[in-house]
Amino acid sequence: MKLIKAAIKNFRLLYDVDITFDENATSVVGKNNSGKTSLSLIFNMFLNENNKKFPFEDFSLKSHDKFIATFEKYGEIKEENKEERIKEIQSEIPKIQLLLTLKYGPEDNWANIKPFFTNLEESDEITILCEYAPDSTEKFLKKLIDVNKNGTDEELIKNIETQYQSYYKINVRPYSKIEATENVRRADLNRLIQAKFIHAQRVLDDSNSESKSKLSKVFQQQFYNENEKDESKSGKLLEIIEQASSNIDSTLSVFFSSFIEYFSSFGYPGMGNEKVELKSQLAPEVLFKNNVKLFYNHDGAILPEKYNGLGYSNLIYIIAQIIGFYSEIGDFQNNLNLIFIEEPEAHMHPQMQSAFIKNINRFLSEVGLNAQVIITTHSPHILSDAMLQSIRYFAKTDNANSCTVKDLMDFNDKLTESETKEFLTQYLTLGKCDLFFADKAILFEGTVERILLPIFIEKTEKATDGNKLSEQYISSIEVGGAYISKFKELLEFLGLKALIITDIDSVEKQETGNRATYHKVMVAENDQLVTSNITLKNWIPGEENILQLLSKSDADKLSGSIRVAYQIKQNAENFKCGRSFEEAFLIDNHQYIFDNKDNLTSITYFLKECLNSDDVQAKSYDIQDFIDRNKKKTEFAFDLLNVNKDDWKVPTYIEEGLEWLSM
């Protein structure tokens, strides 16, 4: 049996979302506070029979308006249409819902599935509705009318919070669109679905306190699980414990005999025949609680648990919890088994994180546990091991009171170019997955931009007022200019605000016979010049002609939440515009370049020909060509870092782009 889909309504940020699940491991990702943890929590709330009610805070904030609307609608009911209106209100009043779609096969335990069959539908799927709703909507609303004296919306919400638990109940039933169904027992649900929740706050630490032996407790629980299944397995251990107790009793009797004799001098035991005896109380639970500790054998040296790194302790804890789950579920293995793991990356080094999903899947296969794993993570390293189609991206909506879930299985299926799919899969496999956790993104072409980007951001923040990019989580992606456009569909799918910093890359067409070639040229007032930049030609702004590109407005450089920044005219009088970052920098900072020409070692040789700053600006194309031909781009970037970096300014096109991104 497999979990195919979950539809959730009115639970925290999960106001109205649908989530599909991979048949092996689903990776749940997104920025902080985007609703990821709520996914495992709502499963836990409905699957744990001890949970009888939801806190009012678990209702989505957006549901408050629905509470108010249904209350007002109930107050307007007329007698002639009362029954019909009550039904409407019953369907509209906020309920916390978890609608599960499960796929089963002939190998599954049909006795456990039977309560969830409906009469009129034949398929290999069942749908189960778990719902926290009022038993009687009318009684609930009548009570609210009685207590809501002031009549304000704020007072109504307070009264709902006070009264709702007396009327709301958890119910589970098979769901059908075409027929009414009856509630089943929650025990029926628990027989069908087994779940293990390994939470993010795992109480592991490397304190020297001996009381912090958390892993030993895991092994203690495993002993109980195994003993409950097969007492014969623990028989030998119990036999040894009893023998040890007998030996200890004999030793204690001899050791304390003279001490006990002193009691008689105080009249004990009096007229009776009672005797004082010391008995050991050895039992497995006492043994594990105080006397059995976990140790590590390191090259023959026995080291206590506290000497093991937290990363390994965390991994062992997760594995032990899964093994314990395997022992607990026993005969229920033919049903649906779910394992929720929150932030498994805690304390793990990157290499261990990168192999986590692969190792978990292999481990489940080796122990024979048929389970689906749902992993919530903030780790690009863990995500690098995930299949693109197994990722579920959680993102807050604009009003921040709800979230959307973006299914990369849909994205993967809709990718039209196989090359793009292959490129993105390979790119993510290399561990470049922080796009899924970022507030915003910057894509750029070269090493120089990568080295100088933090300085660009710092300088732009000093020059402008507003939101600081340095205080936001920015994913910086270095990618060759020819490949930037391959991120188009992913960025649009995620809805992430992104800035693309690229070059105008002016070229001139030359024809020789039947053959046309393109050659790099400086940007000039020439209608025949075009760009070789694929992003500018085929994406934003979708223009090839250089003069047309230079005439584009800020709005033309925007597509949804994505903006492109490329070189613009710096000197309108003599039509000066850089072809690349280096040339744009030279034009904008010609005085700085001239003043520091003896210290800028990457271009000192060429600058000997410049008699003043105007010469630097006039020769900007030749200087950048010198940098390019002599492979001095990285050296040039380090020159700018090390030589009076406070004196130069960010090229205008980059500064404008960063200002837009910060808003």
pLDDT tens by residue, 408-452: 998 888 887 788 888 888 888 776 788 999 999 999 998 899 999
Tokens of 247: 């030996």
In the chain, what is the straight-line distance between the N-terminal and C-terminal CA atoms, in Å? Answer: 48
Token pair 């709502």 in the structure block, residue: 42
Place 53 in a pLDDT band, splitting at 50, 70 and 90. very high
Q: What is the mean pLDDT of residues 383-410?
A: 90
Check residues 357 and 565 and name the one with the higher pLDDT.
565
Is the pLDDT at 287 greater than 70, yes or no?
no
Residue 407 half-sphere exposure, CB side, CA atoms within 13 Å? 13
pLDDT tens by residue, 198-251: 986 555 544 444 434 555 666 667 777 666 666 666 677 778 878 887 888 788
- The percent of residues above 90 in pLDDT, for the chain, comes to 57
Is the pLDDT at 307 greater than 90, yes or no?
no
State the pLDDT at residue 292.
Answer: 60
State the pLDDT at residue 548.
Answer: 97
Q: How far is CA 590 from CA 212, 451, 586, in A?
A: 63, 21, 5
DSSP letter for 24, please: S
Helices marked H in 20-149: 36-47, 63-75, 82-92, 110-113, 137-147
Query: Among 112-116, 245-249, 259-263, 344-348, whose mean pLDDT is lowest?
Result: 259-263
Q: What is the mean pLDDT of residues 505-534?
A: 91
State the pLDDT at residue 432.
Answer: 73
Tokens of 77: 């009911």
State the pLDDT at residue 207.
Answer: 46
Is the pLDDT at 327 greater than 90, yes or no?
no
Q: What is the mean pLDDT of residues 48-75?
A: 94
Query: Among 233-247, 261-275, 555-569, 638-652, whose mean pLDDT is lowest?
Result: 261-275
Query: Among 41-50, 307-316, 525-534, 642-651, whose mean pLDDT is lowest?
Result: 307-316
If phi > 0 it is left, if psi is from -120 to 50 it is alpha, else beta; for residue 133 that is beta
Contacts of 248 (CB under 8 A, 6+ apart): 280, 282
How many helices (H) and strands (E) in the chain?
Answer: 28, 23
Vertex 543 angle, CA 540 and 548, to 5°: 120
Is the pLDDT at 303 greater than 70, yes or no?
no
Look at residue 162 and give its three-state secondary structure.
Answer: helix
φ/ψ (deg, to 5) at 35: 105, 5
DSSP code per residue over 304-369: EGGGS-HHHHHHHHHHHHHHHHHHHHGGGTTSEEEEEEE-TTTT--HHHHHTHHHHHHHHHHHHT-
pLDDT tens by residue, 346-366: 878 788 888 888 888 888 888
Is the pLDDT at 308 greater than 90, yes or no?
no
Residue 314 identity (one-letter amino acid): N
Is the pLDDT at 475 greater than 90, yes or no?
yes
* Alpha-carbon gap, residue 98 to 40, rounded angstroms: 11
Tokens of 487: 């991120």
Tokens of 62: 């957006």
State the pLDDT at residue 594.
Answer: 97
Strands 440-444 and 474-478: parallel
Identify any residues that bridge with 571 across adjacent strands, giving them in sequence order. Answer: 576
Vertex 408 angle, CA 405 and 411, to 5°: 115
Residue 43 identity (one-letter amino acid): F
Identify any residues that bridge with 565 across adjacent strands, giving them in sequence order. Answer: 501
338 in Cβ contact with 22 (< 8 Å): no
Q: How far is CA 439 from CA 241, 390, 497, 613, in A?
A: 59, 22, 8, 40
φ/ψ (deg, to 5) at 364: -60, -40
500 in Cβ contact with 484 (< 8 Å): yes
Q: Say what the alpha-carbon torsion angle 238, 242, 248, 253 is, to the nearest 10 degrees.
A: 160
Burial (0-12, 13-18, 19+ Cβ within 10 Å), 300: exposed
* Alpha-carbon gap, residue 486 to 491, rounded angstroms: 9
Q: How far is CA 105 from CA 21, 32, 101, 124, 175, in A?
A: 17, 38, 14, 7, 19
CA dihedral sign, ordered 570, 574, 580, 583:
negative
Vertex 487 angle, CA 485 and 491, to 5°: 125
DSSP code per residue over 373-398: EEEE---HHHHTTS-GGGEEEEEE-T
Place 78 in a pLDDT band, splitting at 50, 70 and 90. confident
Check residues 120 and 656 and name the one with the higher pLDDT.
656
pLDDT tens by residue, 7-35: 999 999 999 999 999 999 999 999 988 99
443 in Cβ contact with 500 (< 8 Å): yes
Place 156 in a pLDDT band, splitting at 50, 70 and 90. very high
Place 48 in a pLDDT band, splitting at 50, 70 and 90. very high
Residue 314 half-sphere exposure, CB side, CA atoms within 13 Å? 21
* Alpha-carbon gap, residue 215 to 237, rounded angstroms: 20
State the pLDDT at residue 206.
Answer: 44
Is the pLDDT at 109 greater than 80, yes or no?
yes
* Alpha-carbon gap, residue 578 to 569, rounded angstroms: 8
463 in Cβ contact with 660 (< 8 Å): no
Check residues 394 and 213 and name the one with the higher pLDDT.
394
Check residues 125 and 179 and name the one with the higher pLDDT.
125
Look at residue 287 and give its three-state secondary structure.
Answer: helix
**pTM score of the predicted model:** 0.84
CA proximity to 484, closest of 546, 407, 411, 537: 537
State the pLDDT at residue 391.
Answer: 94
